[in-house]
Structure 1
Amino acid sequence: MKKVQITQKPLLLAVSAVFLVSSCATPPPQNVSNLCEIFYEHRDWYDAAAKVRDKWGVPIHVPMSIMYQESSFKHNARPPMRWFLGFIPYGRASSAYGYSQAKTVTWDEYVKEADRFWASRDNFDDAIDFMGWYISKSQRLNGVSKWDAYNQYLNYHEGWGGYKRGSYQKKAWLMQTAKKVDSRAKTYAAQLKTCEEDLQRGWLWRLFFG
């Protein structure tokens, strides 16, 4: 009986750990249409986004608008499963995963270039840092301004080579989506101007004056 209990205990601990991690996953913001409310709900997200701005020179509203489009701020987002004959699953459309919907190959490139071997695609801080790296590299490789949400999204979706070849020009739906991302980025930018000063205040100030 004792041997059975010893072998069961690690299993119970493992199951408990998985349950704890899944239950502690950060939920998507309740109001994704307002950047101030997003950051008020998840204060640490603003801190992470501000670090990316300072590190990569990327305005906060651009990666946030792209992230909304790609994952709706869901930490474990991934492309839908494909089905054969309507009931036999045969894999997903791509390896995209997490907040940023980064594909495995591109993520691995980021990990090496940015020296972030501990990074995870389902961690917000890591995901937005990846996006800062990607947007910065889009400027360097294709000359797209870091403030140009429209063309930055086309780079993000098509890849640097695809954008350079103009692959998006044959995809009317994609250019329409890029316009939505650009419009959302402008809305986010205007909203952030009204609350960023407050978001920059530390927890101690908020404790006594907030």
Structure 2
Amino acid sequence: MRAAALLLLLALGGCASAPSNINNVCAVFDQKDGWFNNWYSAAKRTERTYGVPVPVLMATIRVESGYKAHARPPRKKLLGFIPWKRPSTAYGYSQALNGTWTQYKQETGRWAADRNDFSDAVDFVGWYHRQSHLRNGIALNDAYNLYLAYYAGQAGYAQGGWKNNSHIKSAAQRAASMANQYAAQIRSCSL
């Protein structure tokens, strides 16, 4: 009995670990191809549901969290060395904020969704990008502008507050480049 429990714990522990070689989406999918937790299946299901291509979904998560289930923004430092508050409530693979995650659960009916579950996080990203398409007219394959709206928020994107923010534009460029790289890699994956 103990051996079975230990094996189950080890198997589930592997589900929460970040994949290595995160710049290669084929490697990411190969490492997360378990019967219980198949990332490619989850990403394809999200693509079918919201119309956002898998490379755009995966690039968003790559830039947001580096595929770390429990990612959070770093704490600010009080007096330069005492760990203090975090700058936001962003959490999980998608770095979704508390309020936006609650809105997602309400609008989708996915009440049990968890930000540190990849399947739920990728669905959130697809849902949010779909909202950006509906509210701001961003094409579902436009990784750059979808990421800008993801980072700045729907209203922030519409108001253009990101235009003078080199940090946001740089992150959006990384997401767009990663989406292009992932799209090329997926064509050669054996999925």
Q: TM-score, normalised by structure 2?
A: 0.89
Give the structure 2 partner of residue 162 of structure 1.
156
1:128-187 deviations in Å (ceiling 9; x for gaps) = 000010000100000001100000000000000000000111102221221111111001
Unaligned runs of 5+ in 1: 1-15, 200-210
- The answer to whether 1:184 aligns with 2:181 is no
Give the structure 2 partner of residue 30 of structure 1.
20
1:123 is aligned with what amino acid?
D
Contact 2:64 2:93 in 1 (8 A): yes
* Structure 1: distance between partners of 2:131 and 2:115: 19
2:174 is aligned with what amino acid?
K
Q: Which has the higher helix share?
A: 1
Find 1:45's aligned residue among 39, 62, 71: 39
* Structure 2: distance between partners of 1:115 and 1:155: 23
- The answer to whether 1:64 aligns with 2:58 is yes
Larger Rg: 1
Give the structure 1 partner of residue 112 of structure 2.
118
- Percentage of identical aligned residues: 41
Give the structure 2 partner of residue 132 of structure 1.
126
Is the partner of 1:81 in helix, strand or coil?
coil
1:104-132 deviations in Å (ceiling 9; x for gaps) = 00000000001000000000000000001
Unaligned runs of 5+ in 2: none
Aligned pair count? Answer: 180
Q: TM-score, normalised by structure 1?
A: 0.82
* Structure 2: distance between partners of 1:148 and 1:51: 19
Give the structure 2 partner of residue 101 of structure 1.
95
1:21-52 deviations in Å (ceiling 9; x for gaps) = 98455211111111111111112000000100
Query: How far is the alpha carbon of 1:193 from its aligned partner?
Result: 1.1
* Structure 1: distance between partners of 2:26 and 2:62: 14
* Structure 2: distance between partners of 1:86 and 1:173: 23
